[in-house]
Each structure stands twice: as structure tokens, then as C-alpha cells.
A and B are shown apart, each in its own frame.
Chain A
């Protein structure tokens, strides 16, 4: 009976995904990537057995994340994530694809000696500290969510991602790419995907998807700048510096300062990022170019921050953070993003302030305004 209900839940999940939210993923392969109506989840949490309850709680957590925190009722939050401080756990997938893998380091534990493990631990710690100290944000959900990372995912995997509940890092193939924990901004990037999921919940497609990507780069680079105490002038504004092996002609994966110039290599090809809307990618690959067109809002942020001077997180970062946390809606386009950042700049510094003009200059230079 209980097993049956769990199956029915998964079936309902599957149907929902197929009919209205197919983009969230297959319920078969990824049972957590699912949305159920709150009343169903509510009922299972109260009345289901342990299995059902676990599934329902996970579902609730996921649906909260996907819908965006601002739009949800947090009535079960206490059950899902007890409030706390920095709680990091690093797992080892041992080159398999099963998540999370085996625990290798927990909060307060000694270094493991494995660079990937220790970089994931330190990098997620630096990211947590950045958001806590600068924006008074307690972790990804603002309520002390645990920071889980898995390293050594898959074989020769040239990627890192946030899967909705945790960070995951590949080792790279060693031929073109190094391990993905090597750049601290990559860790900040992945964690910011989690924050975006809880806040603006930007759709991962087209312009809102490129804004989602850009937010991850913007806060990712600030995590690095904060860790190194770099001003806007000290930073090279390169995302993924150190990820390429010495065989590749490139300084990193993306340049926020000069999108399209990060690499140009015989094997890898040329960095495809546009630096203004006039050369925007319109194809269907990469969810409509989310990692390509992110160059446009990335450069707008770079210009705004550089015009303001000092540390990026002090003013430009604050404007972007408030925009992400309180103002952006899930389907926002570049134009909407620009007008919101301008109105936040007006509220914080005034409509004729240097900060307002810096933000305006950023969006005008990239052709959004």
C-alpha cells in the first residue's frame, strides 16, 4: 500500500513533467527533479511512511527551489533544513555517476590531502563566508542549507554543475582541462546557481537563462576577488582561470571584461561569447546560448563595477544582489534586468548618482539600453 503510493507519486510526477514541466527532468532518472502540488506533498508528509515522507520532503524542497523562495510558503522548512551555520560535506564519486558518493570530509574535519576534496571544501567555505559577511546571507537558501559537494564525478568529465541540491565537479580529461575545483570562481558559480534557484528562479533558457548564467559568473568572480582582496582594477575578470592545461591557447573559460577573447585554440576553437546584443547568439544549442549570451550582462556588470571603482561587492555587487534576491522575476529578459538594476541603483544611491550612471553606462555599452 505504502510502496504503491510512492509509485503513484512518482507516476504523478512523471505525468506532470511530461505535460507541463517537461524541462525539469525525467522523474525516472532523477526522482528529486519533480514538482507535486503542495496539498499532495502535505498529505504524504503527514500520513505517509518513512519512504514516502522522505520522497515528499525532497519533492517539497525541490519544488520550493524551482519556484523560487519568494513565491513559496515555508511551512515545512523546519522539517527540511534545520537552521545552522556553515555545514560542508565533501563526497567522492570515485569516477562514477552516482551521487552523492562516499563522504571524505565533513565540517571541521582535517584536510584530506586530495586537492579536489580540499579545494571543494575551502571554496564552498569561501563562498559561504562571502555571502555571509557581505550580504548577511546564511547559505544558499538563506537559512543555513548544508553545502554538499561531490568530486571525482564520472571519468574525464570536463564539467561542473549544481544539480538542484548539491555541487558536482569533474576531474577534467587532463588533456585539455584540469580538475574543475581548481578555480574558486567555478565553486562560487555553482553555489550561486543554488541561490538563484531559491530566489529569482530564472528560467534556464534564452535571455533569462543567460542572466542566470551571468549571475553565477558575477558572484563567482566576486567570491574570488573577496578571497584575494582584489579591487576591480586588480581583478582580471576571467572565469575559470587555471582550468585549461598548458596545451590550450587561452587564459580561461570566459572573460567578463572582453567577452569572446578568453581562448582561441586550434582544437577547442574560439570563445563564442558576444560582447553586445548586436552579435547575440540566436540558435538552439546550449538552452538557447545561456553560456554564450551571458557575456552581454557579464560585461555590463564589469563596466558598472569598474566605473564605480573599489571593491566590486561594495556597490555594484550590492545592486546585483538585491536585484537577484528581491526584484527579478523568473522570465526576465536583458532589458528588464537593466531597468531593475537601474531602479535599485536609484533607491540606494539616487537617480543622478555616479552609481546610477555607472550601471546605465554598462547596459548602454552592451546595447541593452
Chain B
């Protein structure tokens, strides 16, 4: 599985892109990511961008063997599971 997280906006407005190939992390971490992906119902999520000052905007793209999906979302519109997926991806790709 391949995860790309792009962050923009925030007061700082510093663009950031991180990519993660889950074959390069431990099996336990890979399972954790898969679990969060499922719990967040990622492949059925739609874009949810708002116009709130200085909040982070995320573009999250996930590609695995049989499907690919990308969403654009403001941090205030992310479920706890999606937020955790984003945080975990950033942590493992740092």
C-alpha cells in the first residue's frame, strides 16, 4: 500500500508532502495503518474542504493493489480515525 499526505495552509502556510510505502514499515505498523484505513472508511470518503482561517488542509491519497482514492479535507472535518491515519503516516514517513 502507498500513502501520500500533502498538507497546506495553517498560519504557517508551509506546504509539505510525505509518502509512505507500507512494505517498508514493520508488519505491526502496516496492520495498524490498514486498520485505521478501514475504520475511517477511507475509500468511501468524499472531499470536505471548508474556509476556516489558518486551519490545515490535507490531501490524502491511498493506493493499494486493487484500488486508489484521494480526498481533500480540512483538519476540522476529519474523523478521529482519519486524523490518526494522517498522524501515523507522517510519523512513519518522517
Q: Which of A169-185 contact B (CB under 8 A)?
A: 177, 180
A-B contact number at CB 8 A: 96
Q: How far is the CA of A314 from the CA of B6 in the complex (A)?
A: 41
Minimum distance in angstroms from A202 CB to a CB of chain B? 10
Given contacts A25-B77, A285-B59, A287-B9, contact A268 B52 (CB under 8 A): no
| Partner of B52 from A161, A203, A243, A291 at Cβ < 8 Å | A161
Q: Which of A252-310 contact B (CB under 8 A)?
A: 253-254, 268-269, 272, 284-287, 290-292
Count residues of chain A with CB under 8 A from any CB of chain B.
41
Q: Is there an interface contact between A160 and B54, defined as CB atoms closer than 8 Å?
A: yes
Q: Is there an interface contact between A161 and B15, defined as CB atoms closer than 8 Å?
A: no
Q: Which of B31-70 contact A (CB under 8 A)?
A: 48-57, 59
Q: Which of A69-77, A112-120, A143-151, A186-194 contacts B (4 or more CB under 8 A)?
A: A186-194
Minimum distance in angstroms from B57 CB to a CB of chain A? 6
Q: How far is the CA of A190 from the CA of B54 in the complex (A)?
A: 9
| Partner of B76 from A25, A212, A216, A254 at Cβ < 8 Å | A25
Q: Which of A26-34, A125-133, A222-230, A347-355 contacts B (4 or more CB under 8 A)?
A: A26-34
- A100 in the interface, Cβ–Cβ < 8 Å? no
**B12, B15, B16, B55 pick with most chain A CB within 10 angstroms:** B12
- A24 in the interface, Cβ–Cβ < 8 Å? yes
Per-residue 0/1 for A187-217: is the Cβ within 8 Å of any B Cβ (1 yes, 0 no)? 0011001000000000111000100100010
Q: Is there an interface contact between A25 and B50, defined as CB atoms closer than 8 Å?
A: yes
| Partner of B53 from A158, A212, A240, A269 at Cβ < 8 Å | A212
Count residues of chain B with CB under 8 A from any CB of chain A.
25
Q: Is there an interface contact between A285 and B57, defined as CB atoms closer than 8 Å?
A: yes
Q: Is there an interface contact between B49 and A287, defined as CB atoms closer than 8 Å?
A: yes
- B88 in the interface, Cβ–Cβ < 8 Å? no
- A164 in the interface, Cβ–Cβ < 8 Å? yes
Residues of A near B74 (CB, < 8 A) are 25
What residue of chain A has the Cβ atom nearest to residue B17's Cβ?
A269
| Partner of A159 from B8, B15, B56, B59 at Cβ < 8 Å | B56
Given contacts A25-B76, A30-B76, A159-B56, contact A287 B14 (CB under 8 A): no
Minimum distance in angstroms from A23 CB to a CB of chain B? 4
Q: How far is the CA of A5 from the CA of B43 in the complex (A)?
A: 35
- A163 in the interface, Cβ–Cβ < 8 Å? yes
Q: Is there an interface contact between A269 and B14, defined as CB atoms closer than 8 Å?
A: yes
Minimum distance in angstroms from B27 CB to a CB of chain A? 26
Residues of A near B51 (CB, < 8 A) are 23-24, 203-205, 209, 287
Q: Which of B1-37 contact A (CB under 8 A)?
A: 6, 8-16
Residues of B near A284 (CB, < 8 A) are 72
Q: How far is the CA of A286 from the CA of B14 in the complex (A)?
A: 9
Q: How far is the CA of A269 from the CA of B52 in the complex (A)?
A: 25
Q: How far is the CA of A177 from the CA of B11 in the complex (A)?
A: 12
Q: Is there an interface contact between A285 and B6, defined as CB atoms closer than 8 Å?
A: yes
Q: How far is the CA of A164 from the CA of B55 in the complex (A)?
A: 12
Q: Is there an interface contact between B6 and A204, defined as CB atoms closer than 8 Å?
A: no
| Partner of A193 from B8, B48, B54, B72 at Cβ < 8 Å | B54
Q: Is there an interface contact between B11 and A159, defined as CB atoms closer than 8 Å?
A: yes
What residue of chain B has the Cβ atom nearest to residue A160's Cβ?
B11
Minimum distance in angstroms from B12 CB to a CB of chain A? 5
Minimum distance in angstroms from A65 CB to a CB of chain B? 11
| Partner of A180 from B11, B16, B49 at Cβ < 8 Å | B11
Given contacts A29-B76, A286-B57, contact A23 B11 (CB under 8 A): no
Q: Is there an interface contact between A23 and B12, defined as CB atoms closer than 8 Å?
A: no
Residues of A near B14 (CB, < 8 A) are 253, 268-269, 272
CB-based closest 8 A-B pairs: A291-B13, A285-B8, A204-B51, A161-B54, A286-B8, A286-B9, A23-B51, A159-B10
A–B Cβ pairs within 8 angstroms, 13 of them:
A24-B50, A25-B77, A33-B52, A158-B12, A159-B10, A159-B11, A159-B12, A159-B56, A161-B10, A162-B54, A189-B11, A190-B53, A290-B13
**Could you list which residues of chain B lie within 8 angstroms of chain A, going by C-beta atoms?**
6, 8-16, 48-57, 59, 72, 74, 76-77
Not counting A26-B76, A253-B11, a sample of 17 additional A-B residue pairs whose C-beta atoms are within 8 angstroms of each other reads: A24-B50, A25-B74, A26-B48, A33-B52, A159-B10, A161-B53, A163-B52, A190-B54, A203-B51, A204-B53, A253-B13, A285-B8, A286-B13, A287-B9, A291-B10, A291-B13, A292-B13
